[in-house]
Amino acid sequence: MSPFWAVVKKELTSVIRDRTIVISLLIQLFIASFSSALLLGMLSLYDSDTIMRFSGAGIKIGVVGESQLSEFVRQRGLTVVPFDSLEEAEAVFFQNGVSAIFVVPEGISDTAQIKLYLPDNEAVSSIIRMVVQEPLKQFENYLREQNGIEVRYEDLKGKPSTSFEFIYSVLLPMLMFFPAFVSGSMSVDSLTEEVENNTLQTLLSAPLSLNAMISAKITSSVIIAILQCMAWLSLLRLNGIAFENTGWILLLALIVAGITSTAAVLGAVLLKDRERSQFIYSLSLLAATAISTLLNASPITTLSRLAVGDAYTGGWNVALFAVVLAALYLVLWKTSRRLAG
Amino acid sequence: MNQILVIAWREITRLRKRFGGGASPVAVLLLMGAVGLSAFALRDTVSLGSGLYRVGVSGDVPAIEDSRFSVIELEADEGQALLDSKSIDVWIDGAKVISRPDDKSQYAVRALKQYMEKAELIRVGNSFAEEDAFPLRVGINYLNPYQPPAENQTGGEAVAPVTKPEEVIIPSLTPPPAPFTQVLVALIYILPITFISIFFTSSFMDEKVNRRLTILLSAPITPFQIILGKMLPYAVFSLATTALIAVLTKGDVLLALAIFAPTTLFIFAIYLMVPLFYRTFKDTTFIAMLVTTLTTAYLVFPAMFTNVNDLAYISPLALAVKMYRDEPFGWREYLFPSVPMSAIFGFAMFAGTRLLNEEFLMGYKPITRKAADAIYLMMAHAHPYLSVPLWSLLVIPIVYLTQVVFLAFATNLPVGLIVGAVLIASAFIEEVVKSVGIVVLAERKVVTKFRDILLLSALSALGFLVGEKLLLLISITMVSQASVSGALFGSGLLLLIPLVAHFIFTAIVSLLATKAKFPYALALTLGTIVHFIYNWKVLGGGL
């Protein structure tokens, strides 16, 4: 076995022996499940479509006075109970017959003031306000039409898109790029530990150049990252989440892990201690994410587009990141001498 | 006090040396500048689903400026073909929106609806008189649902009094309350604190690598002074950033400081544990990541439910959300998150002073052994009859935090399994906490007799039960203000049964592990199973 692979093997076995990599896996599982739980919680609390699906027809709204509003409320899937006066409506309200009461004055014209009576209980009233928001907006548009103002694109429907957007623009990129982030951190630790404990000189007495040693460290962290990505992709498949371009996605994850590890090692070569290297590494990662988004070449967007099968995204977009990796690696190759000096 | 300041000053000097001179301060400034500028440029454009949809437009269509959509200009005759070949998800031809029936296209339509609604509002608002553009006012009134008005003499029904002054809204301009954005703003406060803790952690690691800690510990200062001195500069800096963020986001500075001071202490408490337990540099990275994730989750998750559920006050971020909405909150709401966090800080400081010795820091052992050593060091200085129940009582906030985390994990499971899984996990963590002290003490031969172990199990169960009920009492009275102490403590039998149950489980685990020489994991599993069956029966029988 060549010295290069011997170092790779040593790095991998040390990671497995320390078992702390399990923490990293747990974190990812935790973030994934946590953000999904969060989304689910948010949806059931703040998304009127989800509320309607679970308890829509059970919500009864009392309406005093005739108007188009009753029709809009009914179209939303809520149950409308008409009343003649507020007194009657309130009597039913206090017997839990209706959850809220609208009072619409007669002959409503240009600027209308209607009244909404809600129970003084934040949890219930905020749900009701969420489900009547859509009918109120429709009623508002109807009144605007009466005033001669035309509102365009008001009849769009579609399907609730939050889950779709969450899975492809948050969950999948998170699971593919978090291992890359970790592998960069690991490279910093691995290299600075050799420097600070003065074991680097011993390692360099082996028949192995400095660049080969550094590359071996990068290779081992990238291997760990890509193994995690493959595991997450299969787990997502098992959960019935479909995505396209699996090959390109994995290649992109591999290249990004390469970029983060190379950049991290570059920082460690220049700074030589863990504290500063980790700090600069985290900061640069933030900066790189922000700048790439600004330049409209974010790997996150590329990954989302690959996964949903965007017609204009393919191997060329991935190749762009390969160029970045090559450039970074060249810089590292030229500067690594400073570590031995 | 003087010694603490000396150590604090030394810490500042250390940092200045690290970051002074050479390229690194310039690099830090440049990077921070880049992050700040990009954040500023991106503040409105980044949203969920960035870059997911392709929209083709032809004819007179308003400009679509939303990061979710990539817009392609096309001729009216190519639209349908591109739509059919799935090159675009939606085709907007003038005022018409054409879509395919498949899911992706329909998602795009919904996203477009959200955007267009806003865009049209701005257009209508800008081009027409306000009264015409926003013709609807809704006056919202609240009624107390539990207090119907008294019937008046004549038998007719009166209009009930409203409980709050009327709030008038324009529906299209007033989205229903959701704390999401305010939670994100509140999250900004946490970020710098976690960043700063990298340095705090490194400070101890440096001492360890350079073996300077030995010298420091032989000097006439206590570990407590060392920890406090090293923490001081970072704590001051954290509070300064908190104040700065409050100024920049137009929050109330004093209030923000009051809200986030316990949080800062809490985060420092946890980061204090990292350098004490690490063996290699990689350990530090992983442990620090774990800590950051869990604390962020613990802080953010409850805050999402501000104004929906009173338990949101577990997290101080809920208070920050209230602050940004100009809503008042009282002492109860403030103390509810702050007391447990400060308690954890106190506990960590105590643990830190006990563990900050050379033998413990330098040993390279499996992490479980290190934890056992740590527990022993914390308990060894008092009589077991005092330290065991105290331990069970003091770790309650940590148990409680862990159970919240388990709950998040469990939501991944099928609905039918969630309750069972959470019950098993909670039983397990409770058994660990109650028995671990006894097992460690028995292992070190501090207690050996059968009778002693039984007695310690009983004390441990008592300590745990008292802590558990106290926490429950505090949370319930603080939130609902109802006097439930009667229900909790009124009936002696109600408390006796769980006490006996806790005692039996702990005794099973402790005796199996110490006297029958079972492996600890096996003893725990058996204890957990019995505990779980008991919990299940209690839930099922409605005891």
Backbone angles phi, psi at B441, to 5 degrees: -65, -40
Overall average pLDDT of the B99-105 stretch: 87
The C-alpha atoms of residue A226 and residue A232 are separated, in whole angstroms, by 10
Structure tokens at B436: 């671990």
Contact B319, B333 (CB under 8 A): yes
Burial of B327 (0-12, 13-18, 19+ CB in 10 A): exposed
Backbone angles phi, psi at A23, to 5 degrees: -60, -45
Record: contact B87-A311, CB cut-off 8 A:
yes
Record: contact B108-A294, CB cut-off 8 A:
no
Q: Min CA distance, B112 vs chain A (Å)?
A: 8
Record: contact A310-B54, CB cut-off 8 A:
yes
Three-state secondary-structure class, residue B72: strand
pLDDT computed for residue A250 by the predictor: 94
Burial of B443 (0-12, 13-18, 19+ CB in 10 A): middle
Structure tokens at B273: 């544990």
Record: contact A305-B160, CB cut-off 8 A:
no
Whether B450 and chain A come into contact, CB under 8 Å, resolves to: no
SS3 letters across chain A: CCHHHHHHHHHHHHHHHHCCHHHHHHHHHHHHHHHHHHHHHHHHHHCHHHHHHHHCCCCEEEEECCCHHHHHHHHCCCEEEEECCHHHHHHHHHCCCCCEEEECCCCCCCCEEEEEEEECCHHHHHHHHHHHHHHHHHHHHHHHHHCCCCCCCCCCCCCCCHHHHHHHHHHHHHHHHHHHHHHHHHHHHHHHHHHHCCCHHHHHCCCCCHHHHHHHHHHHHHHHHHHHHHHHHHHHHHCCCCCCCHHHHHHHHHHHHHHHHHHHHHHHHHHCCHHHHHHHHHHHHHHHHHHHHHCCCCHHHHHHHHHHCCCCCCHHHHHHHHHHHHHHHHHHHHHCHHHHC
Chain A residue with CA closest to B404: the answer is A34
Overall average pLDDT of the B397-419 stretch: 70
- Identify the CA nearest to A149 among candidates B64, B129, B112, B61: B129
Chain A residue with CA closest to B200: the answer is A275
Crossing angle of helices B2-19/B180-210, nearest 10°?
90
Contact B114, B175 (CB under 8 A): no
CB-CB neighbors (< 8 A) of B49 in chain A: 161, 164-166, 168-169, 304
Mean pLDDT lowest for which of A8-17, B367-376, B433-442? Answer: B367-376
A255 pLDDT above the threshold of 90: yes
pLDDT computed for residue B274 by the predictor: 81
Record: contact B49-A311, CB cut-off 8 A:
no
Whether B176 and chain A come into contact, CB under 8 Å, resolves to: yes
Contact B277, B287 (CB under 8 A): yes
CB-CB neighbors (< 8 A) of B315 in chain A: none
Residue contacts between A and B (CB atoms, under 8 Å): 332
B166 pLDDT above the threshold of 60: yes
pLDDT higher at B304 or A276: A276
pLDDT higher at B327 or B427: B427
Residue that the structure tokens 């809490």 belong to: B266
Strand B136-143, strand A112-119: pairing: parallel
pLDDT higher at B28 or B23: B28
Record: contact B138-A312, CB cut-off 8 A:
no
Query: What are the beta bridge partners of residue B56?
Result: B72, B91
In the structure, what pLDDT confidence band is assigned to residue B153 with cuts at 50, 70 and 90?
very low
Mean pLDDT lowest for which of B429-433, B490-494, B506-510? Answer: B490-494
Structure tokens at B514: 């110490």
Whether B496 and chain A come into contact, CB under 8 Å, resolves to: no
Contact B166, B140 (CB under 8 A): yes
Contact B108, B99 (CB under 8 A): yes
Query: What are the beta bridge partners of residue A32?
Result: none
The C-alpha atoms of residue A220 and residue A216 are separated, in whole angstroms, by 6
When mean pLDDT is compared over B147-156, B348-357, B415-424, the highest value belongs to B348-357
pLDDT computed for residue B321 by the predictor: 78
The C-alpha atoms of residue B312 and residue B316 are separated, in whole angstroms, by 9
- % helix / strand / coil in chain B, to the nearest 5? 70, 5, 25
Contact B262, B346 (CB under 8 A): no
Total Cβ atoms within 10 A of residue B532: 19
Record: contact B97-A94, CB cut-off 8 A:
no
Overall average pLDDT of the B132-136 stretch: 79
The C-alpha atoms of residue B454 and residue A130 are separated, in whole angstroms, by 56
Test mutation, B143, B181, B293, chain A, max A CBs within 10 A: B143
Exposure string of B275-312, with b = 16+ CB inside 10 Å and e = fewer, is bbbbebbbbbbbbbbbbbbbbbbbbbbbbbbbbbbbeb
Test mutation, B11, B31, B93, B174, chain A, max A CBs within 10 A: B31
Mean pLDDT lowest for which of B18-22, B63-67, B394-398, B511-515? Answer: B18-22
Residue that the structure tokens 């950051």 belong to: B292
Chain A residue with CA closest to B131: the answer is A111
The C-alpha atoms of residue A253 and residue B49 are separated, in whole angstroms, by 19
The C-alpha atoms of residue B422 and residue B408 are separated, in whole angstroms, by 10
Whether B448 and chain A come into contact, CB under 8 Å, resolves to: no
Long-range contacts of residues B369-372, Cβ cutoff 8 Å, at least 24 apart: B370/B277, B370/B279, B371/B277, B372/B436, B372/B440, B372/B443
AA letter at B409: F
Structure tokens at B19: 């970051």
The C-alpha atoms of residue A176 and residue B81 are separated, in whole angstroms, by 34
A70 pLDDT above the threshold of 70: yes
pLDDT computed for residue B474 by the predictor: 65
Query: What are the beta bridge partners of residue B57?
Result: B73, B92
CB-CB neighbors (< 8 A) of B66 in chain A: none
Q: What is the dihedral of CA B18, B24, B27, B32, to 10 degrees?
A: 10
Record: contact A120-B142, CB cut-off 8 A:
yes
The ipTM estimated for the assembled molecules is 0.81
Please list, in sequence order, all residues whose beta carbon lies within 8 angstroms of the beta carbon of residue A195, skipping any fewer than 6 positions away.
A268, A272, A273, A339
The C-alpha atoms of residue B291 and residue B200 are separated, in whole angstroms, by 14
Mean pLDDT of chain A: 83
B498 pLDDT above the threshold of 70: yes
pLDDT computed for residue A110 by the predictor: 55
- Identify the CA nearest to B302 among candidates A41, A170, A174, A167: A41
Whether B63 and chain A come into contact, CB under 8 Å, resolves to: no
Strand B96-99, strand B90-93: pairing: antiparallel
Structure tokens at B535: 């919990």
Record: contact A36-B411, CB cut-off 8 A:
yes
When mean pLDDT is compared over A192-206, B188-202, B297-311, the highest value belongs to A192-206
Half-sphere exposure at residue B361, Cβ-oriented, CA atoms within 13 angstroms: 26
pLDDT digits (tens, 9 = 90+) for A304-337: 999 988 888 888 889 999 999 999 999 999 888 8
Whether B315 and chain A come into contact, CB under 8 Å, resolves to: no
Strand A100-103, strand A60-64: pairing: parallel
